[in-house]
Amino acid sequence: MSDSKYRFSPAPSRVGWMLNRRQVLLGGAATVGLVGASGLLAACGDDDDDTSGGGGGGAASGTLTFGSNYSDEKPKAAMAAAIGAFPNKDVTVNINTVDHNSYQENITTYLQQPDDVMCWFAGYRMRFFAAKGLVGDISDVWADFTTLSEGFKTASTGDDGKQYFVPFYYYPWAVHYRKSLFEEKGYKVPATLDELNALAEQMKGDGITPFAFGNDGKWPAMGTFDMINMRTNGYDFHVSLMAGKEDWTSDQVKQVFATWTDLLPYFQTGGNGRTWQEAANALGDKSAGMYLLGTFVTSNFDPSKDPTAQEIIDDIDFFAYPAINPEHGQDAVEAPIDGFMMAKSPKNEAAAKELLGFLGTADAQEAYLKVDPSSVAAASDADTSGYSPLQKKSAELVGKAKFISQFLDRDTNPEFASNVMGPALADFITDPSKIDTILTSVEEQKKAIFG
Amino acid sequence: MATPTSTVPPSAAAPPAAAGKRRRLSQISGRDRLILVVMVSIPLLLHLLLVWVPAIATVVLSFTEWDGLSSVSDIAFIGLKNYWEVFTVFDNRFFPAVFNNLFLLVFLFFGPTALGILFAYLLDKNIRGTRFYQSVYYFPVVLSLAVVGIIWKSVIYSPSQGLVNTVLGRTAEGNQIDWIGDQEKVFSFPLPGLDFDLGLSKNFAAILVAMAWRHAGYIMVLYLAGLKSVDPSLREAASIDGCSEWQTFRRVVFPTMKPINVVVLVITVIEALRAYDIVAALNTPQGMELMSILVTNNLVGEGGGNVGRGSAYGTILLVMCIGFIIWYLINNYRQEP
């Protein structure tokens, strides 16, 4: 489970949906089954008769190295299952697992001598390495993908228009609420900013804090900024702003903060010192009405510790952030994606591309989800029968999105995100009237960092 | 810190004692000399290698631009640009950090250090349950500051479940006090050339209390050990001469405690300037900027990779430390001719 010690928003592989008991048992059983199976896989590699379609013609052969940051027990077993389902048995895949945090901290060193295929995130953190020529172009692999939406393709594309990334799974950000509270008070899911304001006002009148908010770690507020920005100025502006190409003192950015300033009185006060878990508790006990966060919000409620938690989890639903500018509507959704990249010059390129082609399909993702069912597969034809209602809804939300953004701290230079934007947004929340001074200094610091 | 200084007086006093340098040296046999050379040079080399080489490298790197990843030949010298950026572009992070470090120093000195000395003085009187009090006050010292931070954040300062808000009856939504997050200023003052006010933010003030909780115990133990070694006849003499309690302490005990006073002062300065773990453990809330946090944020992890600017912050911190060291050395030499 994710805790609050990270300086960045949690990776999809670190957080998931809190599962109901049945799923946990299923996953556990599969893990146990796999421990035995993976020994066999390592030994002979052809003991698996589950070759149901997928990947390709099986032209490649030889050995392939696979760098994995799926270091926790269950994800590790799940990844082994996904790789084990690779239909081309002429290729031996050696999985090289590294602790999740060390992998992330040392990625730049690792890329000097990488494995053929490696795990990483979509967004700027991928584009940055692509632009430096540290990872391989896999556009031809993408030509064969039919079940990945346009949004995933955009999220996998580098600055030069070529693809460098294969998405695996994700979690979306959305506004969470309690269904029972909305029913009881007769609230309606807002579709526009005006409706959102009206709803917030109504909740306030009922003695409910409209928005739960905790900004400990300084990344949660970035989600609110991203949503208001993309609804106001669109996805393209978001990308260009994150790439350091737009002026932070521009009217577009000021408009975002003006909208936010109007909404701020509806937020839980003192958000800077509150963890997202504490804010989630406010949603749980219905003292707050709505909460914009990743769908991992449900993982705060643990049925094994609190008997009422399952009831809360089943009662939580979400809606896409309301439209602000009709031109952009609700066309963008924020959904950090985990996936894979290929080394710049892999030792076995044919096998690497074949494996990447396979990992982008439902077969690989289902094999993974069978063991670790807490995520949502990227492929649109993946079997959703094991999903919770919230997972199904996530798949729908992301599947129909025109644009998928990756969250501010994944869509921009990490130094800019953690050393400039985090503190700036915290300053804004403390005193929104200082926004002009704050943005002037953000612009200066952006210039110093992006050079 | 204290060790090199305690060796200074003997070497300074050595020349008058030895009548002739040559004769004194000749008393040392060849083998002894070899052992001496080895025993001095190994620590010296280690010291140079582990302390001064990195320190000087930091100073050199502070004049360069480098991402810390590409090859060493990519390091580009850019003159004072990093310092210029620190003082002008990143001024809203830098000056609050310097202010916090200096405020911490002043606070530790007049707050918990003074309190620790008071505790030690009272416990030295062998009051009833003195051992119990000693254990209680010393207990926080065995915890690392990072742990202290986490304890205070989750147990004492948590807005909805914390001890303080519960006692004050302010755990209700909308009525809570956000101890760790509230970066509003307790007091502030403008500084010419800055477009923001410098001051002590409420959350840093709150965390000062947590640091004091630990620091007071630390100083108490040091001082108590020192007080035990004060000759009791001095106090007797003072009381026979009709000194009040305060006069005895101020005129007799305190001056005889000089070596301990120096250690306490040095420890307080070091603690204030190296403060890092407690704030880092709390996720560096806004308002708690410290120099060491700025250094690591620029150097380490995914957000790092800015070796030049990180080194510039490090160099400024080094200068601040050296300032205190020089002031201390000068004082020490002057008083012991």
Is pLDDT of A424 > 50? yes
Polymer length of chain A:
451
Nearest-angstrom CA–CA distance, B188 and B249 = 36
Report CB contact under 8 Å: B297, A418: yes
Report CB contact under 8 Å: B182, A217: no
Nearest-angstrom CA–CA distance, A154 and A163 = 8
Measured at the alpha carbon of residue A316, what is the angle toward residues A315 and A318, in degrees to the nearest 5? Answer: 140
Identify the residue among B153, B283, B299 best suited for mutation to test binding to A, counting A beta carbons within 10 A and taking the highest. Answer: B283
Confidence at residue B12, expressed as pLDDT on a 0 to 100 scale: 43
Domain boundaries, chain A: 3-171+338-399, 173-334+413-450
The CATH number fitting domain A3-171+338-399, selected from 3.40.190.10, 3.90.600.10, 3.10.105.10, 1.10.3720.10 = 3.40.190.10
Is pLDDT of A276 > 60? yes
Q: Identify the CA nearest to B294 among candidates B269, B320, B268.
A: B320
Confidence at residue A53, expressed as pLDDT on a 0 to 100 scale: 39
End-to-end CA distance of chain B: 21
pLDDT (tens digit per residue) in A201-213: 999 999 999 999 9
A162 CB neighbour count, 10 Å cutoff: 15
Indicate the range of A159-163, A288-292, A372-376, B46-50 predicted with least confidence: A372-376
Angstroms from B172 CA to nearest CA on chain A: 10
Is pLDDT of A448 > 70? yes
Mean local confidence (pLDDT), A382-401: 85
Architecture of the structural domain at A173-334+413-450: 3-Layer(aba) Sandwich (3.40)
Mean local confidence (pLDDT), B112-139: 89
Q: Which amino acid appears at position B327 of this protein? A: W
**What are the b/e assignments for A63-81, b being 16+ CB within 10 Å?**
ebbbbbbbbeebbbbbbbb
Nearest-angstrom CA–CA distance, A317 and A178 = 6
| Cα B218 from chain centre | 12
- Which is more confidently placed, A262 or A383? A262
Adjacent-strand bridge partners of A292: A175
Contact A362, A383 (CB under 8 A): yes
* Confidence bin at A16 (pLDDT 50/70/90): low
Confidence at residue A66, expressed as pLDDT on a 0 to 100 scale: 94
pLDDT (tens digit per residue) in A294-338: 988 888 887 888 888 889 989 999 999 999 999 999 999 999 998
Mean pLDDT taken over chain A = 84
Report CB contact under 8 Å: A427, B180: no
Q: What residues of B are in contact with residue A104 (Cβ under 8 Å)?
A: 302
Confidence at residue B69, expressed as pLDDT on a 0 to 100 scale: 64
Confidence at residue A14, expressed as pLDDT on a 0 to 100 scale: 64
Mean local confidence (pLDDT), B12-39: 67
Domain boundaries, chain B: 96-288
Is pLDDT of A348 > 60? yes
Which of A272, A418, A437 is facing B286, going by the closest CB pair?
A: A272
Q: Which residues contact A194 (CB under 8 A, 6 or more apart)?
A: none
Nearest-angstrom CA–CA distance, A169 and A150 = 15
Contact A320, A189 (CB under 8 A): no
pLDDT (tens digit per residue) in B298-325: 887 665 678 899 999 999 999 988 888 8
Complex ipTM: 0.74
Q: Tell me which residues of chain A have a C-beta less than 8 Å from any C-beta of chain B.
A: 4-5, 7-8, 104-105, 107-109, 125, 209, 215-218, 268-274, 278, 281-282, 287-288, 414-415, 417-419, 423, 426-427, 430-431, 437, 440-441, 444-445, 447-449
Angstroms from A185 CA to nearest CA on chain B: 20
Report CB contact under 8 Å: B302, A8: yes
Q: For residue A267, which phi and psi values (nearest 5 degrees)? A: -80, 155
Confidence at residue A128, expressed as pLDDT on a 0 to 100 scale: 83
Q: What residues of A are in contact with residue B181 (Cβ under 8 Å)?
A: 215-216, 270-274
Q: What residues of B are in contact with residue A437 (Cβ under 8 Å)?
A: 195-196
Distances in Å between the alpha carbon of B111 and those of A358, B210, B213, B222? 64, 12, 10, 16
Nearest-angstrom CA–CA distance, A147 and B243 = 91
Is pLDDT of A36 > 60? no
Contact A397, A176 (CB under 8 A): no
Q: What residues of B are in contact with residue A218 (Cβ under 8 Å)?
A: 283-284, 286
Question: Which is the CATH superfamily of the domain at B96-288?
Answer: MetI-like (1.10.3720.10)
Share of chain A above pLDDT 90, in %: 49
Walk across the sheet containing A173-178 and list its strands: A209-211, A288-294, A173-178, A316-319
The dihedral region occupied by A37, where left means phi > 0, alpha psi between -120 and 50, and beta the remainder, is: alpha
Mean pLDDT taken over chain B = 84
Confidence at residue A17, expressed as pLDDT on a 0 to 100 scale: 55
Mean local confidence (pLDDT), A284-301: 90
Confidence at residue A2, expressed as pLDDT on a 0 to 100 scale: 35
Packed helices B258-274 and B202-228: angle between N→C axes, nearest 10 degrees: 160
Q: What residues of A are in contact with residue B184 (Cβ under 8 Å)?
A: 430-431
Highest mean pLDDT among A291-305, A350-364, B4-18: A350-364
Q: What residues of B are in contact with residue A445 (Cβ under 8 Å)?
A: 89-90
HSE-up (13 A, CA, CB side) for residue A71: 11
pLDDT (tens digit per residue) in B147-167: 998 899 889 988 878 899 899
